[in-house]
A and B are shown apart, each in its own frame.
Chain A
Amino acid sequence: AQSVTQLDSQVPVFEEAPVELRCNYSSSVSVYLFWYVQYPNQGLQLLLKYLSGSTLVKGINGFEAEFNKSQTSFHLRKPSVHISDTAEYFCAVSDLGRDDKIIFGKGTRLHILP
């Protein structure tokens, strides 16, 4: 069965520094990939998605992610973070050709340090 690994449960980063949140999934022929964000005391919203096409995907709030099929990864990056980026970030994968069920990672809490 498909699984999603977010290696870092928490990532502290200084404001205006770059950040990378890592996401790996178990191997599959064809997948859809997603990153969701949950700001404090709010619901989940989509940050970006990869369905097909360019492996570099741009999302909202200056975030981007790159699909790397050979490494089965979909890491999230931002070149310069702001205090408002403090949130929980969830990676999710849909394994096509099976039951299309979307599987979530356990989440990474991003702490922005002043």
Chain B
Amino acid sequence: GAGVSQSPSNKVTEKGKDVELRCDPISGHTALYWYRQSLGQGLEFLIYFQGNSAPDKSGLPSDRFSAERTGGSVSTLTIQRTQQEDSAVYLCASSPPIGEQFFGPGTRLTVL
């Protein structure tokens, strides 16, 4: 079956604009994660959804960042009033109740 997909693959925006990044997880996966990876850096955890539980938002860097997961499937990460330091690759991953995460290809965000 299909893997985790993310769109767009690349996004260039101007400072101060809002952006929405989309993640389509693998069907049946209960958990969904968003990470941020800056050039040459590790994974920065942003948010974690697990089933119907309240999301773990402990990694969101500021209140400009928010995410939702509709119907336990598709997720959207929204960044308001983008700043240059938001430039990074945003990765989405999903996982079944038992087992590893499957990562999407990422969205490369560039804020000019």
Write the residues of chain A forming the contact surface with B, with a CB cutoff of 8 angstroms: 32, 34, 43-46, 49, 51, 88, 90, 92, 99-107
The contact of B103 among A43, A51, A105, by CB within 8 Å, is: A43
Looking at chain B, what size class is its interface with the partner chain?
20 to 34
Residues of chain B within 8 A (CB-CB) of A106 are 42
Is B104 positioned at the interface, with any CB of A under 8 Å from its CB?
yes
From the candidates B42, B53, B99, B104, name the one contacting A104 in the complex (CB within 8 A). Answer: B42
Partner of A46, one of B53, B97, B100, B105: B100
Q: Is the interface of A mostly helix, strand, loop or mixed?
A: strand
**B residues 1-51 touching A (CB-CB < 8 Å):** 31, 33, 35, 42-43, 45, 48, 50
Give chain A residues whose Cβ lies under 8 Å from the Cβ of B103. Answer: 43-45
B76 on the A face (CB < 8 A): no
Q: How far is the CB of A110 from chain B (nearest CB, A)?
A: 14
